Amino acid sequence: VERTLVLVKPDGVRRGLVGEVLRRLEAKGYTLVALDLRVPDAELLRAHYAEHEGKPFFGPLVEFMGSGPVAAVVVEGQRVIEAFRAMAGATDPTAAAPGTIRGDLGRDWGTAATQNIVHGSDSPASAQREIALWFPHL
């Protein structure tokens, strides 16, 4: 079966949305296999977002993601990568469809880094790479 890395970003943790994100994953029938709350250091965040290095939002994104605790979750189930991308909704929370996590719970706060509550791996290769970064023992 497939695994994905879900992150509840610092905005989601600050707003008390960890339970809501986990509730949606569990209600849809996926299995939580690892769960950790921590403030990620810049080295981890730069590796996690390596594909965005050089983009104008890279610095603000690393700063935002390190601004407080992040809930890191490994979730398992058939086609869970695709499913969580659909559950999260579009990157821009203003444009994200109602019914999605970002569409129901997110908005534009006018900050340099898009605060959109959650991250989910976008492919099996990304999931494997990201799970190894956040949970090296798994």
> Which residues are catalytic, by number?
119
DSSP assignment of 73-96, as one string?
Answer: EEEESTTHHHHHHHHH--SSTTTS
- For strands 118-120 and 31-38, give the pairing: unpaired
What's the CA gap between 67 and 110, in Å, rounded?
16
Q: Give the tokens for residue 93.
A: 């929370």
Is 91 annotated in some ligand binding site? yes
**Residue 56-75 contact track with ligand ATP, rule CB under 6 A, x = bound:** -x---x--------------
**Residue 113 interacts with ligand ATP (CB under 6 A)?**
yes
Site string for ligand ATP, 31-60 (x = CB under 6 A): --------------------------x---
Give contact residues for ligand ATP (rule: CB under 6 A).
57, 61, 91, 113-114, 116, 119-120, 122
